[in-house]
Structure 1
Amino acid sequence: MTLIKQSLKNIWDVRFFLYKQPHRLLFEHVPKCGGTSVVTYLRQQYPGFQTFSMDNRAPLESVELFRKLPEEKRFQYRFLYGHQAHLIKDFVHPATKKFTILRDPIDRMVSHYYYVLRRPTHYLHQAVIEQQLDLKDYITLEISKELRNNYVHRFTQLEEGQMLELGDAAVDMAFQVLTQEYAYVGLLEQLEQDLAVAKKHFNFISAFKPVLANATAGRIKVEELDTVTLERVQELNRLDILLYQRIKTYRQRSFQY
């Protein structure tokens, strides 16, 4: 360990001596659910040498890399985060708690489209520009698994055909994962309140200060969608909408922090 790294480690050791250590945490960063702002906050709670970050451009490669690490090395990480971090949950320290943030699925789809439209480096940008896709076409064409029932797919790893065949049973499976395996499921719509809850629940040292990060500029509101586009988004994300509604109801009745 270099002198600089050792010095940084000593600073964090003192900080943890003065304050309670935050719990071990895995954060599943669902695209366009406020994850960039949340990660910025969460990274402040843990030293860099105890943090494992997924490569969001190639998350499956990060999954493979992490799984191949010896247990001693894997268990050194106290904070793990990124797109598809969910896929390494069985390889982290057993005391690691799981946390994620969801968003109204229709609002997420609108934000996703306008984000891609205005971000040339996004992997879907070229397809949107070259094919001159509007929001309805963007959702309809099968160009990414992020655009159809992504919540259910993400937390069950079921493929689209399997999800459609299982229908509501696939929603049940995703709901079971989120309510049994995750310590807390926040909502973007009440992010500040939920991160205040998370601070207490996960023993974070500092409070969340709202910061607008990675926000989508120039997008329309859900209520401005034309009827045809709205119905198409609802049709192709029916399972996610059901799951989101169930999570909202469950939070009201069951999350006690």
Structure 2
Amino acid sequence: MKQNSNQTKEILIFSHIPKTAGSTIRQIIDKQYHKKAITRHQKINTLTEAQLEQLEAIYGHCRFGIHKVLSKPFKYITMLRDPIERIISTYYYAKRRPQNRMHQSATKYDFKEFIEHELSQGNPAFENHQTRFVSGEKNPDLEKAFENIHEFYSVVGIMEMFDESIFLMKEFLDWEDISYVKENVTSKRPKQDDLPKDTMMLLKEKNQLDIKLYNYAKQKLVEDINGLTRKSKQELEAYKRQNKREG
């Protein structure tokens, strides 16, 4: 574990967008910082001044903006996922988790009916939710999300490029052990081509901002990878091979 100097290090804020491998990322974060110096975002307002002073990392389903309660420097990371894949995963995850707040709806309806029901109810999780998280705005603001990425985010990872994303976090955040075991993986779910085409079209229509944000972040991630040193690129390839064997 790193012995971070709290006088010089910025507080890491992991803004965990639901269904973007957050449990696995938290597992990695837990190995980088002192246990007592990590808190979930829900507890931030309950910490004493002394606890805030020792804080090294915050994580949870928090949108951009939680840093406003901090008096110390900070930096954000997050992980994005193909917007349609994230929504499909949300349905099948809710379906098999009785404690999930959408479980009753997911078990009552098939996928098409579920999506139409949740959209009709104005559930924000199904309409540009990733842009909402990164922009920090109740009404998702794509330009604000772009600005935040450049000004406040050390890394915006891409779930479909998970190893590359984690490796960049290691490089940019000076992490050490980034080995992991996949957690909360939703298995036995259909592919997009197996689901109703009109529902897929509806989701794409309702998530145009998220699609643009995802493509933008993916391009930036690729550029950052291309900018790595030759040695780092070799280490990345070795990391990917190792995880492929273990997976």
Once the two structures are superposed, the pairs formed by residues 35-54 of structure 1 within 5 Å of their partners are 35-54=22-41
User: Which consecutive unaligned segments of at least 5 residues does structure 1 have?
Assistant: 1-11, 55-61, 164-169
**1:188 aligned partner:** 159
Q: Quote how far apart the aligned CAs of 1:95 are.
A: 3.0
Q: Quote how far apart the aligned CAs of 1:134 are.
A: 2.2
Q: Distance in 1 between matches of 2:184 and 2:193?
A: 22
Q: Secondary structure at the match of 2:199?
A: helix
**2:111 aligned partner:** 134
Once the two structures are superposed, the pairs formed by residues 1-257 of structure 1 within 5 Å of their partners are 16=3, 24-54=11-41, 62=42, 66-67=44-45, 69=47, 71-84=49-62, 86-92=64-70, 94-130=72-108, 132-135=109-112, 137-139=114-116, 140-142=119-121, 144-159=123-138, 162-163=139-140, 170-209=141-180, 211-253=181-223, 256=227
Higher relative contact order (CA 8 A, sep 6+): 1
The answer as to whether partners of 2:40 and 2:58 remain within 8 angstroms in 1 is yes
- The Cα offsets for residues 166-219 of structure 1, whole Å up to 9 and x where unpaired, read as xxxx2111121122211111111111122122112211121323x221011211
Q: Distance in 2 between matches of 1:116 and 1:78?
A: 32
Change (3 A) 1:230 1:137: same
Q: Quote how far apart the aligned CAs of 1:230 are.
A: 0.9
Paired letter, 1:76: Q
Q: Distance in 1 between matches of 2:65 and 2:9?
A: 22
Paired letter, 1:155: V
Q: Distance in 2 between matches of 1:246 and 1:136?
A: 31
Question: Once the two structures are aligned, what percentage of the paired residues are identical?
Answer: 25
Q: Distance in 2 between matches of 1:68 and 1:36?
A: 23
Paired letter, 1:222: Q
Q: Distance in 2 between matches of 1:153 and 1:105?
A: 12
